């Protein structure tokens, strides 16, 4: 029966996205160590495995459990050596034996691959850094076989890439700083990621509980995610992880932004309507025609919006409904308006009713206006005109012995 053969360290390095690492001359700086560590993580993640959820390759070899929990809900555990061969009971059937052997081969392949990736990463570190700066971890008999790649990188950060207490305090302030709800939520997740990494490199890592507790507090302070936070807290304890929180709150944030856009759009319609109501007292024939044309312009705008945003039908439908409601209201208002005086003529001499009196209404006598009326009624407004009646009489005047128009 053939067996699975794991790739050796040299073959694995050849397949890394960063197979060649630049040697650091002299004492490494924090910046150099940080950049090198980033390349090592990319290399580790590039080798597939079913460990740690199977999505991040062997990245777990270079992360703490808390760091790993910020990117996935699964845990990365270094596999146990399954031994040289499968343990097959003497009473096993041929089918059972075959199953046990195949299972062992798969476990052995996973274990050998993980060991060889670890070895490959250590070889790159040893090649990139002068031995004087990592020799404290070297065993006289076993060399670096008894330490992990992460332990070597931690040693470098501790001894060569020391971070000041002030820098650590600043990082903690940034970690706990409130986020701007108007900015993309991805900015917050990136900030948390960088702060967690910085704390790890400063040898003062945040625990998974600290990370989750902090981001929950940031959302609680916003005061608009109460329902989403309550739903998260009602999940089984095992599901209350940072990765789950991040996924759920990203969706909650997107919904919040959509609600804000619709609220802003509706507010714009209400403002426009209020302005329109204020100006309706001053309408003329031209103004009425312009307002009537608004319906056609609005429909054209809706059509253009629909063509430009076919992927967001819900938003377009909502805006269309708002516009239609506005048009209906506007039409009712227009139907209640008096005939514009500039187009109405006297029954007898064809003179336009161009003059207006707040008490008596429209007329043809230039000497009878709101300002010159000698029989003003209660609450008479001398400043009222034909274009702005200010709530005055809208009837058309006629002489005592004339028929009604």
Asked whether residue 192 is assigned to any structural domain, the reply reads yes
DSSP H helical segments within 129-185, as ranges?
149-159, 165-176
More confident residue, 336 or 214: 214
- Domain co-membership, 320 together with 346: no
Per-residue pLDDT of 4-32, as tens digits, reads 789 999 999 999 999 999 999 999 988 89
- Domain co-membership, 299 together with 183: no
Is the predicted pLDDT of residue 350 greater than 70, yes or no? Answer: no
CA distances from 29 to 123, 152, 158, 163 (A): 20, 15, 11, 10
Q: Kindly state the average pLDDT of the residues 296-323.
A: 59
pTM for the full predicted model: 0.51
Asked whether residue 49 is assigned to any structural domain, the reply reads yes
State residue 405's pLDDT score.
Answer: 37
Q: Kindly state the average pLDDT of the residues 391-395.
A: 85
First to last CA, the chain: 111
Q: Kindly state the average pLDDT of the residues 300-328.
A: 61
Asked whether residue 272 is assigned to any structural domain, the reply reads no
Asked whether residue 275 is assigned to any structural domain, the reply reads no
The number of CA neighbours under 13 Å toward the Cβ of 188 is 24
- Domain co-membership, 36 together with 142: yes
Tokens 């950060």 belong to: 157
- Domain co-membership, 148 together with 289: no
Please say whether the dihedral angle defined by the alpha carbons of residues 372, 378, 381 and 386, taken in this order, is positive or negative: negative
* Residue where a domain stops, chosen among 253, 271, 296: 253
* Residue where a domain stops, chosen among 321, 337, 353: 337
Is the predicted pLDDT of residue 63 greater than 80, yes or no? Answer: yes
- As a whole number of Å, the CA-based R_g of the chain is 39
Is the predicted pLDDT of residue 56 greater than 60, yes or no? Answer: yes
Asked whether residue 324 is assigned to any structural domain, the reply reads yes
Q: Kindly state the average pLDDT of the residues 130-155.
A: 95
- Domain co-membership, 208 together with 225: yes
- Domain co-membership, 248 together with 201: yes
State residue 388's pLDDT score.
Answer: 87
- Domain co-membership, 154 together with 26: yes
- Please provide the average confidence, as pLDDT, over all residues in the chain: 83
Identify the domain containing residue 325 by its residue range.
283-337
State residue 79's pLDDT score.
Answer: 96
Is the predicted pLDDT of residue 344 greater than 50, yes or no? Answer: no
Asked whether residue 262 is assigned to any structural domain, the reply reads no
Please say whether the dihedral angle defined by the alpha carbons of residues 318, 321, 327 and 328, taken in this order, is positive or negative: negative
User: Considering its fold, how many domains does the chain have in total?
Assistant: 4
State residue 319's pLDDT score.
Answer: 65
- Domain co-membership, 64 together with 129: yes
Least confident of 127-136, 171-180, 344-353: 344-353
What residues does 345 pair with on adjacent strands?
352
As a whole number of angstroms, the distance between CA 74 and CA 312 comes to: 35
- Domain co-membership, 143 together with 236: no
- Domain co-membership, 47 together with 92: yes
- Domain co-membership, 368 together with 245: no
Residue 262 pLDDT level (bands cut at 50, 70, 90): confident
Asked whether residue 65 is assigned to any structural domain, the reply reads yes
Asked whether residue 3 is assigned to any structural domain, the reply reads no
Is the predicted pLDDT of residue 285 greater than 50, yes or no? Answer: no
Please say whether the dihedral angle defined by the alpha carbons of residues 11, 63, 250 and 244, taken in this order, is positive or negative: positive
The total number of residues written for the chain in this structure? 405
Residue 303 pLDDT level (bands cut at 50, 70, 90): low
- Domain co-membership, 391 together with 307: no
Least confident of 101-110, 235-244, 310-319: 310-319
């Amino acid at each position: 029966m053939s067996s699975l053969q794991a790739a050796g360290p040299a073959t694995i390095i050849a397949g890394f996205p960063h197979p060649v690492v630049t040697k650091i001359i002299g004492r490494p700086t924090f910046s150099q160590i940080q950049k090198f560590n980033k390349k090592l993580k990319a290399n580790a993640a590039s080798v597939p495995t079913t460990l740690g959820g199977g999505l991040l390759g062997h990245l777990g070899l270079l992360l703490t459990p808390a760091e790993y929990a910020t990117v996935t809900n699964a845990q990365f555990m270094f596999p146990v050596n399954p031994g040289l061969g499968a343990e097959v009971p003497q009473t096993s059937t041929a089918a059972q034996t075959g199953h046990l052997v195949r299972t062992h081969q798969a476990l052995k392949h996973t274990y050998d691959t993980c060991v060889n990736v670890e070895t490959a990463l250590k070889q790159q570190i040893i090649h990139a850094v002068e031995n004087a700066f990592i020799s404290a971890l070297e065993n006289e008999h076993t060399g670096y076989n008894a330490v992990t790649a992460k332990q070597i990188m931690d040693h470098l950060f501790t001894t060569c890439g020391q971070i000041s207490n002030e820098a650590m305090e600043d990082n903690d302030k940034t970690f706990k700083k409130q986020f701007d709800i108007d900015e993309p939520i991805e900015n917050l997740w990136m900030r948390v990621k960088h702060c967690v990494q910085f704390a790890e490199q400063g040898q003062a890592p945040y625990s998974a509980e600290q990370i989750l507790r902090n981001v929950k507090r940031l959302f609680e302070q916003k005061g608009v995610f109460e329902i989403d936070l309550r739903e998260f807290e009602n999940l089984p304890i095992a599901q209350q992880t940072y990765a789950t929180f991040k996924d759920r709150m990203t969706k909650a944030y997107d919904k919040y932004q959509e609600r804000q856009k619709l609220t802003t759009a509706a507010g714009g319609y209400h403002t426009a309507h209020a302005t329109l109501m204020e100006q309706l007292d001053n309408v003329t024939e031209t103004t009425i025609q312009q307002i009537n044309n608004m319906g056609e312009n609005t429909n054209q705008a809706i059509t253009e919006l629909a063509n430009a945003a076919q992927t967001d039908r819900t938003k377009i439908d909502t805006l269309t409904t708002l516009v239609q409601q506005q048009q209906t209201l506007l039409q009712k208002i227009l139907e209640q308006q008096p005939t514009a005086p500039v187009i109405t003529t006297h029954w007898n001499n064809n003179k336009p009713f161009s003059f207006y009196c707040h008490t008596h209404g429209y007329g043809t006598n230039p000497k009878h206006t709101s300002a010159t009326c000698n029989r003003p009624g209660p609450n008479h407004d001398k400043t009222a005109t034909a274009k702005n009646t200010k709530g005055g009489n809208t009837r058309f005047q006629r002489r005592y012995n004339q028929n009604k128009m």
